[in-house]
Every structure is written in C-alpha cells, then in structure tokens.
Amino acid sequence: MVNLKFLQRSFLMDKRIVIIGASLSGLYTALALSSKNIKSILIEKNKIIAENINDGRAIALSFGSMQIIKSMNLWHELEKCAGRIEKIKVSEKSTLLNFAHQDAMGFIVEGHNLLKTALVKVKQDPNITLLDNSTYELITNQPDLAQIKINDTLYQPELIIAADGKFSNLRDLCNIKTKEHDYKQSCIITKIEHELPHNNTAYEIFCPSGPFALLPLKDPYQSGIVWTESNQLVKTLIELPEEKLLYFLSKNFEKILGKGKLLTKPSFYPLKLIMAQEYYCYNIVLVGDAAHSIHPIAGQGFNLGLQDIDLLCNLINQANQLGMRLSNPSILEQYQDIRKKTNRRMAIFTDGINKLFSNNLYSISLLRQFGLSTLEQTPFFKKMFVKYAMAEISK
Ligand SMILES: Cc1cc2nc3c(=O)[nH]c(=O)nc-3n(C[C@H](O)[C@H](O)[C@H](O)COP(=O)(O)OP(=O)(O)OC[C@H]3O[C@@H](n4cnc5c(N)ncnc54)[C@H](O)[C@@H]3O)c2cc1C
C-alpha cells in the first residue's frame, strides 16, 4: 500500500523555502522565486477564496515596481486593469504644485486585482505549493537548522520567509525588536465614479487635519480615494449613512472631478509605523510589512515590499547557483544592510510629510504654502521628485 504521508513529505522536501503569509508580499515572493526556478511552500492561515478577495485599496505602483512585476511575467495581466499616473497635482488652499512626465510616473491597481492576478498564477505554478487554511509551529531556529511543523507534518527548510504582515508572529518568535509609533490617524478608503475624466492625474489635497488623495483608475471616470483623518473623526465618519459620507468626500473632489457616487462600501485602516530592528535571525528573514509598515501618505508600502522581494530573491538565486545554503548569513546580512537603509529613509520621509501636512497651525500652513510655491518654481527639485516617485533613485 502507498504511504501517503511519505509521498507528501518527499514531494514537499524538494522545496527548500517556506513562506509564511499569502497576501501581497507572500504571493509575489513565491512568484519571484519561481521565475528563478526555485520552489517554495506558501502557507496562509486563512482560507483563500478568490471570489471573496475584497481589498478596496487603490495601490499606487512606481515605475520601478512595474518593472519588478514584469520580471515575474505578470505585468501583461495587471496592465489590463492598471490606471496610469501621468500628472501629479499637490494642493493646499490656492497653492498648486504640478508634476508631469512624458511616460507614466506610476500606475494605480486596485488591491483585489493585485491579489487575484497573483493568486491565479500561483495556483498554476508547479514550483509553488500553496497551503491555505493552515497552521504552523516553529520547532527550532538555530544556525543551519530550522524545523517547522505545518499542519502536523515536520519540515526542515533552508530558509523561512516571514511575509506575515505588520503584526508578524514569526518576527516575535525571533525576538526581533520593533520601533513603533501610533499615528492616531486612520485612512478611509473607497472608490468613486465621477462626472469629469481624471485625465490620468493623481491629486494630493492637503486639508486642515490630513491629506486627501484621488488616484486615477483604469476607467477615466473612476478614482480611488484615500482620506487620512484623526481616529476619532474617522470613527464618526465611517458610521454615517453613505450619502452623508459622500457629502463630506464630495467637498474635496467635486471641484476637480464633478459630482460623484460611491462604487464601494467605504472601509478604514488605522495607521501605525512599525519598523523591525533586524531583518533576519538565522534561517528566518522578513519581507514586506513584516519588516516595515509605514504611513501610506506617499503610497510606498508595497513598493518597498517589492524592492525587498526583488533583492532577496536575486541573492537567494546567487546562493543557489553557488551551491550555498539559502540562509547563508552573508546573503541575509547583505539583504538587511541594503533594505534597512532604504526602508528607514522612506519611513522618515513619509513620517515627516505627514507631520508637516497634518498640522493646522497658521505658521506651519504658511510655511507649507511657501514651500510648495518655491518647489513649483524650481525645475531641478521637481525633476528629482519625479525620479524619486518613479523609484529610479530609491535603491
Ligand atoms: C490605506 C492604505 C493605503 C495603501 N496604499 C498603498 C499604495 O498606494 N502603494 C503601496 O505601495 N502600498 C500601499 N499601502 C501599503 C500596502 O497595502 C502594504 O504594504 C501591503 O499590503 C503589505 O502586504 P503584506 O503581504 O506584507 O502584509 P499583509 O497584507 O498584512 O499580509 C500578511 C498575510 O500573512 C497572513 N498571516 C499572518 N499571520 C499568519 C500566520 N500565523 N500563519 C499564516 N499566515 C499568516 C495574513 O493572513 C495575511 O494574508 C497602503 C496601505 C494602507 C493601509
């Protein structure tokens, strides 16, 4: 008689990498590894039902992120549902700052499309074994030995990748410390249809207590909204009947896009900065929000995650080709060294912008308007900003 458990074990043993968490970072890590012909097991605690994926965020992807996704052979699918950012307009009161570039500076893809497109590919990929509705127990993690029990079966992978989000359990099991800051703010997210075309323009409007972003979707008459406000106000706003909430939202978008209606039920996300102090511990390495969860004011969280994934998978590939253990400390140290600096820089940048633009003091407001109009008249800085937004100089 065939020993099923033995068969299952030998089938999974050729996967030298286990990834924990099958949301954006986990799915895209598995695909990046597979594009280099490296096999992995992807573990998700929740049951994944494609039709139920309902991430209402409009995710801004930089030009650099698009190129990373292209290398996973996924962009041709995502492009079908991606809006283009050709212009960015930043405003406060009457001050306006304009950015434009002959190519798209970035793209807007709805979160559910990013997830579903990756999920379809993962399910078809013989290099990836997706185990959803699954539990794991870390048995040991010491130099050159990791043991992890997944659904009661013991595995001994060379590397475990923690893609389990900002409250990462694996990070805690490794005793990796974090630096945290509660913004006491939340974002309201929704999608609207509007009278006037968005002309591929993203708007960042600085309102008295927080920024309000309009992100152009593929349909010229649809935009994503990300509205940052204090936790207290968001709590009140989100409980309003939809037509009342639409009234408050319209105050910010109607002058630009005309009358609008809600296409999705508004949801909200409380905001907290969480930065891991180390990115690896022996055979466990952190990617995405498990390593850094930053303020979404500049729409950079997943862009940083994709840069983590790109670098880590390239280093793993090099180690693999040299016949090295995939958790060799020299590659993980290199990964940590490079990614920690960039991620920290972006965390400081977004933190600073949020502080500057979520402050209603008269003096700060004057300073902001002075800064914006000075920037508007300085082509060099504007060019630098566009390059940064496109993630050409962020690595
Ligand atoms: C309002 C808002 C707007 C944003 N806009 C942008 C934007 O425009 N551009 C951009 O680049 N980024 C943006 N971001 C950031 C981006 O959404 C995140 O960086 C990204 O979603 C993080 O994905 P992740 O996979 O790392 O983590 P998560 O999405 O948190 O996924 C973690 C996964 O791990 C699973 N998991 C957790 N614990 C376990 C366990 N014990 N066992 C198995 N599985 C487990 C979870 O179920 C989940 O599926 C935004 C964020 C917010 C809040």
Distance 212 CA to ligand 1 centre (A): 21
- Which among 18, 69, 164 is the best mutation to test ligand 1's pocket, defined by most ligand atoms within 8 Å of the CB? 164
pLDDT 10s digit of each residue in the chain, 395 long?
445 454 445 445 567 999 999 999 999 999 999 999 999 999 999 999 888 898 889 999 999 999 999 999 999 999 999 999 999 898 876 656 777 777 788 999 999 999 999 999 999 999 999 999 999 999 999 999 999 999 989 999 999 999 999 999 999 999 999 999 999 999 999 999 999 999 999 998 887 667 899 999 999 999 999 999 999 999 999 999 999 999 999 999 999 999 999 999 999 999 999 999 999 999 999 999 999 999 998 889 999 999 999 999 999 999 999 999 999 999 999 999 999 999 999 999 888 888 777 766 666 676 666 666 666 666 666 666 666 666 654 44
CA of 24 to the centre of ligand 1 (A): 6
Please tell me the residue having the least CA distance from ligand 1 atom 37.
164
pTM: 0.92
Rounded to the nearest whole angstrom, what is the distance from the C-alpha of residue 241 to the centroid of ligand 1? 28
- Per-residue HEC secondary structure of the chain comes to CCCHHHHHHHHHHCCCEEEECCCHHHHHHHHHHHCCCCCEEEECCCCCCHHHCCCCCEEEEEHHHHHHHHHCCCHHHHHHHCEEECEEEEEECCEEEEEECCCCCEEEEEHHHHHHHHHHHHHHCCCEEEECCCCEEEEEEECCEEEEEECCEEECCCEEEECCCCCCHHHHHCCCCEEEEEEEEEEEEEEEEECCCCCCEEEEEEECCEEEEEEECCCCCEEEEEEEEEHHHHHHHHCCCHHHHHHHHHHHHHHHHCCEEECCCCEEEEEEEEEECCCEECCEEECHHHCEECCHHHCCHHHHHHHHHHHHHHHHHHHHHCCCCCCCHHHHHHHHHHHHHHHHHHHHHHHHHHHHHCCCCHHHHHHHHHHHHHHHCCHHHHHHHHHHHCCCCCC
* 300 ligand 1 Cβ < 6 A: yes
pLDDT for the residue 7: 45
* Ligand 1 binding pocket includes 164 (Cβ within 6 Å): yes
